Structure 1
Amino acid sequence: MDELALPNDYASVLVRLKQRVHESRYRAQRRVNVELTLLYWQIGQVLAERTDDAQWGTKIIQRLSADLRAEFPDSRGFSPRNLVYMRSFARAWTDVTEIAQQAVAQLPWGHITVLLDKLDDPELRDWYAGQAATNGWTRSTLEHHLKTTAHLRFGAAPTNFDRLLDPASSDLAQQIMKDPYVFDFLRIEPGHAERELEQALVERIIETLGELGSGFSFVGRQMPFDVDGDEFFVDLLFFHVEQLRYVVVELKVGKFKPEYAGQLGFYVELVENQLRRPAHAPTVGLLLCTDKNDRVVRYALAGSSHPIAIASYDLLPPAEQAALPSEVDLRRALDTP
């Protein structure tokens, strides 16, 4: 059979058509998801209205579950537990006319149940729902950010962006920084070396990217740069595909020292000169250390001529960190006869 002669533009047309099919399927799935969310809200509203009626107790919900599953055997969402979630959903988001316009309507039902389980504050629920919908968080990523109080950490890292970047670029760069970063998915022992931390982050790169945030793409580890025969190595290099900028990450075990800012600034300059393209936004640096003195950090940032952020990192979520005995407590325990 003779090979079919294809038009010159066939490949590009095929790519565009594939993209349109994918986009159409995605939009259709989102519409189905919104309809399912509204249905669950409506069922929950009916149950919420009858909660005060003594006749509508647990046994009635169990009976309702059985009857709905008998009528709709292909639907898996009518378990007694899920019906209770629907009731909680209707109580948490009270206005059905607004739900379709809210971020929560774009979330899978499993995400919504996580929000209902973990949060009582309406504003926090809306914040996490918005972040999850905008950034496409998986359920595990949402659970991680809830456990690590992301709403207190996002955009909190001290930086000098406002001084060295134009306002629009500064605001965007600030949004992708956190303080502290929480690497609770790592399994490394206390007293670890910098290379051990670096290796662990790369081995769990999916979780690392999830903690860094939406838009980060991993470029490489120990990236080499040649300067007239002298070779230098950047710990971790990322590219933010939404902001079109490189992000240089340096890891330090121990407390922040002012000279670290100079080293990071040097690496930012290398990336600016050797990798950045005209279409890219300015490169920024992120230094991660175990601990820091905030006043020392401010002085170091003021003295740097490169856009950098300085943040700490934890290997445990804040709640677990707070439950650990302090250094003073440990000393007292050791001194106790």
Structure 2
Amino acid sequence: MEPAGANTNRVSGEFPDTSFFAIGFSHHRTILSKIKDTNERIFYIRRCADEKYSHEELIASIARDDYHHQGSLPNNFLQTLPAEEQAFRAISTFKDEYLLDYINVEELGIRDKQDADERMLENAIIHNIKNFILTFGKDFAFVRNQYHLDAFGEDQYIDLLFFNRELNCLVAVELKTGKFKPSYLGQLQSYLSILDGFERKPHENPSIGLILCKDMNKSFVDYVIQDYAKPMGVATYKTSKDMSAELRKALPNIDDLRKLLDGSDDNGWKFYPSVTTPSAFS
């Protein structure tokens, strides 16, 4: 059995004939010229076919180094999810780092990144929720922000709540603008307990939690998270100001991504504005 943080995409195996013939020549040329490792090439071939990537999206995926970020977040999924297959699927769903290139701290009126609070970050994500889902991955549907949990007379609020069709479970995301703290895990575990006890449908899998913070010591997080009973992972994020000029240049134009998202659901997921809060796009 692989460790909880293992990258499950780095596997050898049968050559993906179907995926190979499903993508264009320009995709193959870029993969061959930029990627040397065979397993990594297979990963991007499959990614292009599964996600129906344009050539620009492939270049952006390589620039983000998705191969090494996919499935490498600190987590306890193997210990806490009832089925091993479900655990590995969850591991491969989340990255250890997300690039929120559409969030500009200057536009939020934040002069010092350290002064940014979670609510300002949350509002920026809500106003760009389609782009956030594209960053997050396919099969995510947005439920709402500040999701109210009312149990035992205690009011609690989840920053962002999603449903993942592939995992068939609710996904609670907590936003933290500073470095990871162990206390965040306790808070998230309580949210997951209430979700599973009061919100989860009988046919759904156990809810999963993700802490999205600015920085973390991965070895430390991977060690302490194993003692928690609810399935959780911890990832970091970067905003536009944190990215190098080279990476910003490689990422596709956000207006082009909006047109793609508004025009079709070819990427394999759907956005449901009807389940957002009325003020989400005000």
| TM-score, structure 2 normalization | 0.71
| Corresponding residue of 1:204 | 128
| Corresponding residue of 1:287 | 211
Deviation at 1:149, TM superposition (A): 0.3
| Corresponding residue of 1:28 | none
Which is further off, 181-190 or 263-272?
181-190
Among candidates 184, 193, 206, match of residue 117 of structure 2: 193
Deviation at 1:315, TM superposition (A): 2.2
Count of residue pairs the alignment pairs up: 226
What is the distance in 2 between the residues matched to 1:128 and 1:188?
Answer: 31
In the alignment, structure 1 residue 213 sits paired with structure 2 residue 111: no
Which is further off, 246-255 or 195-204?
195-204
Among candidates 313, 325, 332, match of residue 237 of structure 2: 313
Deviation at 1:302, TM superposition (A): 2.4
Which is further off, 168-177 or 111-120?
111-120
What is the distance in 1 between the residues matched to 2:129 and 2:57?
Answer: 13
| Corresponding residue of 1:173 | 90
Which amino acid is 2:224 matched to? A
In the alignment, structure 1 residue 151 sits paired with structure 2 residue 75: no
The verdict on how the C-alpha distance between 1:217 and 1:162 changes in structure 2, with shifts beyond 3 A counting, is same
What is the distance in 1 between the residues matched to 2:245 and 2:201?
Answer: 42
In the alignment, structure 1 residue 182 sits paired with structure 2 residue 99: yes
Per-residue CA distance 1:236-274 (angstroms, 9 max, x = gap)? 011111121111100111111111000011111121122
Tell me if structure 2 keeps the 8 A contact 1:252–1:288.
yes
Deviation at 1:119, TM superposition (A): 4.1
Which is further off, 115-124 or 209-218?
115-124
Per-residue CA distance 1:81-125 (angstroms, 9 max, x = gap)? xxxxxxxxxxxxxxxxx9993413212556456546654555433
Q: State the SS of the aligned residue for 1:291.
A: coil
Tell me if structure 2 keeps the 8 A contact 1:285–1:307.
yes
Which amino acid is 1:186 matched to? I
The verdict on how the C-alpha distance between 1:136 and 1:185 changes in structure 2, with shifts beyond 3 A counting, is same
Deviation at 1:136, TM superposition (A): 3.0
In the alignment, structure 1 residue 132 sits paired with structure 2 residue 56: no
Tell me if structure 1 keeps the 8 A contact 2:93–2:137.
yes
Which is further off, 202-211 or 244-253?
202-211
| TM-score, structure 1 normalization | 0.60
What is the distance in 2 between the residues matched to 1:319 and 1:222?
Answer: 28
The verdict on how the C-alpha distance between 1:201 and 1:137 changes in structure 2, with shifts beyond 3 A counting, is farther
The verdict on how the C-alpha distance between 1:140 and 1:241 changes in structure 2, with shifts beyond 3 A counting, is farther
- State the Cα RMSD in Å: 2.9
Tell me if structure 2 keeps the 8 A contact 1:157–1:178.
yes
Per-residue CA distance 1:277-335 (angstroms, 9 max, x = gap)? 12111111000111112343134312212110011112259972999xxxxxxxxxxxx
Whichever of the two has the greater Rg, that structure is 1
Deviation at 1:164, TM superposition (A): 1.2
Tell me if structure 2 keeps the 8 A contact 1:224–1:231.
yes
What is the distance in 1 between the residues matched to 2:32 and 2:130?
Answer: 26
Unpaired runs of 5+ residues, structure 2, are 1-13, 107-112, 248-282
| Corresponding residue of 1:164 | 80
Among candidates 246, 265, 268, match of residue 192 of structure 2: 268
What is the distance in 2 between the residues matched to 1:100 and 1:296?
Answer: 37
The verdict on how the C-alpha distance between 1:99 and 1:254 changes in structure 2, with shifts beyond 3 A counting, is closer
Which amino acid is 2:162 matched to? F
Identity %: 30
Q: State the SS of the aligned residue for 1:254.
A: coil
Per-residue CA distance 1:180-199 (angstroms, 9 max, x = gap)? 22212322243322112111
What is the distance in 2 between the residues matched to 1:133 and 1:265?
Answer: 36
What is the distance in 2 between the residues matched to 1:299 and 1:313?
Answer: 21
What is the distance in 1 between the residues matched to 2:191 and 2:21?
Answer: 43
Unpaired runs of 5+ residues, structure 1, are 1-97, 324-337
| Corresponding residue of 1:106 | 22
Tell me if structure 2 keeps the 8 A contact 1:258–1:296.
no
Tell me if structure 1 keeps the 8 A contact 2:15–2:42.
no
| Corresponding residue of 2:156 | 232
